[in-house]
């Protein structure tokens, strides 16, 4: 809350603004990299491929691995955790997969799960959730004792989450349970994102694309200027990025 009175607002004209913008030198290649980074991390494989051809920029990862990563993510999001895991574990040269990429992901996967107990726990947890969701209670109990109990012993910090998951089985109508949030699509989304992020990290990719952060910085900057009661050409629509001057 400003207590100083500013009798006159500072104004920056559109010409001034555009001149300042023009003075900033941005490398075209850097812009391309930003876009490519976004496409790769978010998994838009075809777009990345096309963009690579148009811009002459090679993506930092093998395009086919993007496909694999997206397939895996989609599988988890659809509740098919087993399929996701099996697909990667099956080093089966008879299948119609691009072998080199498959081989890469396989080794990545081993590295990821062996060095990331939290991810492993969450994948197992998701498997349990799916079994419960499908009403396969017998299998769920077996799975819980075979796979989940040891996780709790190995890492006491997971116990709380584990017990919440087990609590799902306590209610006939799972939707009434106080832990029903575990059944929401959001839970799958969380697990899928965690897996995606882990794969990206182990490929020396960043798990968050830079573009959204830049956008957030733009919004923040404009808010700062607004708070200072400065009149300047503003971007209101981020789709068109038109500079709009407000009249006094």
Partner 1 sequence: PTVSRSLNTLAMTLAKFEDVIQQLQGNDPVQVYRALKIVKNSIIGNRTKKAQYANSGIIQRLVQLLSPSNGVSEDLRMQAATILGSFAHGNDEIVSQIIAAGAIPQLLNALALPSDTPPAIAVQQNIKMLEAASRALKAIYSSGKAYKKDIYTSNRLDNIMTILKVTTAAISEEANQVSQTASFVMIAELTTSIIARCCTTHEEQTFLSQCGVIEPLVALLHSGYTKAQEAALDAFSSLCRENIDISRASLNARGKTVCYNTDIIHYSFGISYLLVRSSFRPDDFDYYVRFSTRQEPDLTNIYRADVFPEPFSDIVLVVLPTLIKLLKEDNTLVQEKAPLIMADLVKDSETMQKAAYEADAIPNLATILASVSKEDDETNEHRIGVQGSGGLVASKEKVKENCLIALAAVCLLREECRTQAINSKILPYAVGAMSSHNPAIRLAACQCIKSLSRSVRHLRTHLVDAGVISPLLKQLLNDGSPVVQAAACGSLCNMILDFSPMKKTVIEQGGLASFVKFTRSDTAALKLNSVWSLKNLLYSADSEIKRTVMQQLGYDYLIELLNDSSLEVQEQALDLVRNLSCGTKEDIDDVFNGIGENQLLDILERRLTNSMMIDDGGDNASLTLEPALYTLVNIAVGSSQHKAALLRRPDLMQSIVRHMSHEKASIRSSTAWCIINLTWSDNEDKVLPECFGILKDLGVEDKLKVMESDPERDVRDRARTALSQLTSLSDMQEV
d(CA 89, CA 121): 17
Q: Quick check: 242 binds partner 1 (CB under 8 A)? A: no
Q: Quick check: 206 binds partner 1 (CB under 8 A)? A: yes
Give yes or no for a contact between 77 and 196, defined as CB atoms under 8 angstroms apart: no
Q: Quick check: 86 binds partner 1 (CB under 8 A)? A: yes
Q: Quick check: 128 binds partner 1 (CB under 8 A)? A: no
Q: Which stretch binds partner 1 (CB under 8 A): 17-25, 41-49, 57-65, 165-173?
A: 57-65
- Tokens representing 115 are 């060095």
> In the bound complex, what is the minimum distance in angstroms from residue 11's beta carbon to partner 1?
33
Give yes or no for a contact between 57 and 30, defined as CB atoms under 8 angstroms apart: no
- The DSSP symbol for 95 reads S
* Sites for partner 1 among residues 160-189 (CB under 8 A): 160, 163
Strand extents, DSSP E, the chain: 10-11, 230-231, 234-235, 243-244
- The DSSP symbol for 135 reads T
Q: What is the 3-state secondary structure of 229-240?
A: CEECCEECCCCC
Q: Quick check: 101 binds partner 1 (CB under 8 A)? A: yes
Q: Which stretch binds partner 1 (CB under 8 A): 11-19, 98-106, 173-181, 230-238?
A: 98-106
Q: Which stretch binds partner 1 (CB under 8 A): 168-176, 197-205, 221-229, 234-242?
A: 197-205
User: Measuring CA to CA, how many Å separate 49 from each of 28, 52, 60?
Assistant: 19, 5, 12
- Provide the phi-psi class of 192: left if phi over 0, else alpha when psi is between -120 and 50, else beta: alpha
Closer by beta carbon to partner 1, 39 or else 108: 108
d(CA 244, CA 248): 13
Q: Quick check: 51 binds partner 1 (CB under 8 A)? A: no
Q: Which stretch binds partner 1 (CB under 8 A): 3-11, 56-64, 166-174, 240-248?
A: 56-64
User: Which parts of this chain interact with partner 1 (CB under 8 A)?
Assistant: 33, 37, 58-65, 80, 82-83, 86, 89, 100-101, 103-104, 107-111, 113-117, 120, 127, 131, 134, 136, 139, 142-143, 146-147, 150, 152-157, 159-160, 163, 201-204, 206-208
């Amino acid at each position: 809350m400003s207590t100083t009175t500013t009798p006159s607002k500072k104004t920056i004209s559109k010409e001034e603004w555009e001149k300042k913008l023009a003075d900033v030198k941005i490398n075209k290649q850097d812009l391309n990299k930003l876009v490519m980074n976004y496409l790769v991390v978010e998994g838009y494989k075809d777009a990345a491929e096309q963009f690579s051809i148009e811009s002459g920029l090679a993506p930092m990862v093998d395009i086919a691995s993007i496909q694999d990563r997206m397939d895996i993510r989609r599988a988890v999001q659809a509740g098919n955790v087993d399929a996701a895991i099996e697909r990667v574990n099956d080093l089966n040269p008879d299948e119609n997969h691009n072998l080199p990429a498959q081989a890469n992901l396989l080794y990545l996967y081993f590295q990821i799960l062996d060095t990331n107990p939290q991810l492993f726990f969450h994948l197992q947890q998701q498997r349990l959730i799916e079994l419960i969701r499908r009403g396969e209670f017998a299998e769920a109990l077996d799975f819980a004792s075979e796979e989940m109990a040891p996780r709790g012993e190995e890492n006491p910090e997971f116990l709380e989450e584990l017990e919440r998951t087990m609590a799902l089985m306590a209610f006939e109508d799972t939707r009434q349970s106080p832990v029903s949030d575990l059944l929401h699509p959001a839970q799958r989304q969380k697990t899928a994102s965690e897996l995606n992020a882990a794969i990206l990290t182990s490929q020396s990719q960043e798990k968050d694309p830079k573009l959204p952060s830049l956008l957030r910085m733009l919004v923040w900057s404009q808010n700062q200027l607004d708070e200072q009661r400065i009149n300047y050409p503003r971007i209101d629509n981020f789709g068109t990025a038109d500079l709009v001057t407000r009249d006094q």
